[in-house]
Amino acid sequence: MSAPETAAIPHLPGIERQEMSVDIACVGFGPAMGGFLTTLSRKLMNEDGTPHLESTASRGMPLQVICYERADGLGFGVSGVVTRARGIRSSFPDSDLKQIPMAVPVRQEKLVYLLDPIGASRRSFALRVKDRVLRTLGSIARLRDHAFEMPFTPSFLQKHDGMIFSLGQFNQWVSEQITSSGLVQIWPSMPVAEPLIQDHAVKGVRLADQGVAVDGSPSDGFMPGMDVRAALTVVADGPVGAVGRQIDNLFGLPPGNQQHEWALGMKMVIELPENTTLTPGTVLHTFGFPEPEIFGFLYVHPERLASVGIFIPSWMRSPVRTGYRYLQHFLMHPYLWRHLEGGTLKSWGAKSLQESGRHGEPFLVGNGYARIGEGSGSTNVLSGSGVDEAWTTGVQLAEAVIELLEQKKEFSRENLEATYVRRRRASWVDAESKIAANSRNGFEHGVVTGLIGMALAGFTRGALSLPSRPQSLNKATSSLDAMYGSRISSSELDGLKKDCAERGLALHDRIMDRSGWPEVPLDGKLLISHQDALLTGGSVQAAPGYANHVIFVRSELCKECEPKLCVEMCSGQAITRGEDGVPAFDREKCVYCGACLWNCRAAGDKSNVEFRAGAGGLHSTLN
């Protein structure tokens, strides 16, 4: 057997690695993998206890399926989940999904435009006019607490028949169902470093080395990552997962596809005050504040818990955009604060969302591998829904795998195309992704144009859309002068940059202060410092013995790069300004949101950040 081709990870020479063979190796446990393993595990055995699908890796045994997850627990995912749950419900026709902790059916849904009560938000002339009109009309326009409740929620956004979930609780519940069968193994705390590739086929995965120093060199208790060989590798490691991205780097994307649109989602789970009037099942979608480009949400769970969060899109051009402080200002908007004041932060988390949708779809299958979930471009960027779509792609792949195994066919690209991809193309997931495909056109020209484009695509079910497509990431960021020149003079901006560089601080706080954003009055309960949110809300941990997973590839490019968006947008303040101009990375604070990856502009359109497999991260199951 020839040695596997390497993907991107530098290898330690002369290291002998253990090998293990299974039938199906799975990477990443989230909704997509939940759908895959739920469906597959139900078909592994016959009713008489004999294997229905037999292993070729271990003769006489049932199919050997093993799943590796980077996080330390299977419930440490992050998402604000309101979903129609069509795919999920069809997988559990006899289960009451309300039994899942924090789950509740959607009872009421509102779309709310938030005006700026502070005057610090960067609003276009058109928006300022609109705000002025609304304020003038006041109660006639049903303006209340600086917010305008839209008279209806567009049909393409509606989740009226859906469910609110906590992704962490949902994943935990699903994993219990799967593993209780004893037929499938799911291993947390086990990052997968890379795919094993031979002759342009994926032959399995290599697990991350353990017992290494931060630079990856062997240290105490060195244990080389094992090679797990498999006939099929199922890749569901999300939008910034190491395996999916290495496959993309090697095989490229289908012609015309790109992954230029991203967003950072940041959320809190808040225990509402005892006298809250919010009822479980309430869903609020917001836009307009804290910046026009930032969308927000508030979902009310049972037990006085609420998920509250924002999305910061890549087309928000600010080079000093940040998540945490904007989230705090979002909470304090009068329309929300009347419900949240007196609440307590229970959990916090952040993640990147791949928002290119259908345009960002990679090759869904190849010889020996298949892609499911968000990393496969399944998120619907019009309805803002991803969990149910991801789940359904997992179900579709499982059905395809069962079909191929029953027919004793190999997992070739052609066979997976004819089974998995065919199912996906014939499904509602694909039909709706076509409608959504161009719905983001226009946002690069501003939020108003973008909303018009979204409405056009949504109301015509994709028949019409604005012609333009979002620009490449590199072109989507303005200079500091262009963004803040009307408020802060060039010389003052230069002074702020210099001062922050000398003091090793991120710029965004200073810029926001100077732009009129008030200081956040920390109350020790809900409004707490970023680091406190990280440590008490996210309970971020990093087990020793793993290498740094964020690598700045060419340091000379980082030295020249200003402002350093990787520092500004780091959700956990894990990336800071290094003394020599190269960002410093502290893996003990990293929440694996991956924002550094797609925010990096140092190498033009190609990221100078390598986001490898790592262990640890968030330790909260409420998100």
Partner 1 sequence: MPFHIVVCAGIIPDPLQTLEPIAGPTGPALKNEMMLPAVLDPWAGHALYEAANLAAHAPGSKVWLVSAAPKAKLQQVMMNVAQKASFELVPIDVPANGFTDAQAVATHLAQAIQSIAGLDRSRLLLFGGWESASRGAGVTMQIVGEQLGILDQFQGVDQLTLQPDGSFEILERIEGGRHMLSTCQGPPALLGWATGNLPEPRNNPQVGMANMRTIMPALQKAKPATLPQDALRYHSVTPPRQQRQTRIVKDRPAEEIAAELFQWITQE
**Chain positions contacting partner 1, by CB under 8 A:** 18, 20, 66, 68, 72-75, 101-102, 169, 172, 175-176, 179-180, 182, 185-190, 207, 210-211, 220-221, 223, 226, 228, 303, 346-347, 529, 531-532, 535-536, 539, 541, 545, 619-622
Place of tokens 């079909």: 403
Residue number with CB closer to partner 1 (259 or 623): 623
User: Least separation, in Å, of the C-beta of 616 and partner 1?
Assistant: 12
Joined together, the tokens standing for residue 285 give: 């979608």
Residue number with CB closer to partner 1 (166 or 477): 166
Residue number with CB closer to partner 1 (31 or 366): 31
User: Least separation, in Å, of the C-beta of 49 and partner 1?
Assistant: 12
Distance of CA 437 to the CA centre of its chain: 19
Distance of CA 565 to the CA centre of its chain: 18
DSSP calls for 386-421: -HHHHHHHHHHHHHHHHHHHHTT----HHHHIIIII
Sheet (strand 104-105) strand order: 80-83, 163-166, 104-105
Count of residues making up the chain: 623
Whether residue 563 has a cis bond before it, omega within 30° of 0: yes
User: Least separation, in Å, of the C-beta of 136 and partner 1?
Assistant: 44
Residue number with CB closer to partner 1 (130 or 619): 619
User: Least separation, in Å, of the C-beta of 346 and partner 1?
Assistant: 6
Residue number with CB closer to partner 1 (97 or 452): 97
Please state, as a whole number, how many other Cβ atoms lie within 10 Å of the Cβ of residue 529. 15
Residue number with CB closer to partner 1 (273 or 545): 545
3-class secondary structure, 614: coil
User: Least separation, in Å, of the C-beta of 502 and partner 1?
Assistant: 13
State the SS3 of 137-180: HHHHHCEECCEEECCCCCCCCCCCCCEEEEHHHHHHHHHHHHHC
User: Least separation, in Å, of the C-beta of 206 and partner 1?
Assistant: 11
User: Least separation, in Å, of the C-beta of 499 and partner 1?
Assistant: 16
The set of residues, in sequence order, having a beta carbon less than 8 Å from that of 619 and lying 6+ positions away, is 72, 73, 76, 538, 539, 540, 541
The closest of 589, 546, 558 to 211, measured between CA atoms, is 546
The closest of 311, 182, 191 to 595, measured between CA atoms, is 311
User: Least separation, in Å, of the C-beta of 503 and partner 1?
Assistant: 10
CB burial of residue 78 (10 Å; 0-12, 13-18, 19+): buried
Let me know: does 391 contact 34? Beta carbons within 8 Å.
yes
DSSP calls for 469-515: -PPPGGGG---HHHHHTTTS-HHHHHHHHHHHHHHT--SHHHHHHHT
Residue number with CB closer to partner 1 (446 or 544): 544
The closest of 400, 361, 391, 356 to 373, measured between CA atoms, is 391
d(CA 252, CA 228) in angstroms, rounded, equals: 24
Residue number with CB closer to partner 1 (196 or 602): 196
The set of residues, in sequence order, having a beta carbon less than 8 Å from that of 137 and lying 6+ positions away, is 143
Q: Which residues of 360-374 are buried (b: 16+ CB within 10 A; e: fewer)?
A: bbbbbbbbbbbbbbb
Joined together, the tokens standing for residue 564 give: 């350093």
d(CA 15, CA 535) in angstroms, rounded, equals: 37
Residue number with CB closer to partner 1 (222 or 287): 222
d(CA 530, CA 521) in angstroms, rounded, equals: 13
Residue number with CB closer to partner 1 (103 or 310): 103
User: Least separation, in Å, of the C-beta of 537 and partner 1?
Assistant: 9
User: Least separation, in Å, of the C-beta of 604 and partner 1?
Assistant: 33
User: Least separation, in Å, of the C-beta of 304 and partner 1?
Assistant: 11
Residue number with CB closer to partner 1 (6 or 529): 529
User: Least separation, in Å, of the C-beta of 75 and partner 1?
Assistant: 6
End-to-end alpha carbon distance in the chain: 44
Residue number with CB closer to partner 1 (38 or 620): 620
User: Least separation, in Å, of the C-beta of 207 and partner 1?
Assistant: 6
Residue number with CB closer to partner 1 (36 or 335): 36
Residue number with CB closer to partner 1 (545 or 581): 545
User: Least separation, in Å, of the C-beta of 358 and partner 1?
Assistant: 35
Joined together, the tokens standing for residue 271 give: 């225990």
Which helix (H) or strand (E) segment holds residue 284: the answer is strand 282-287
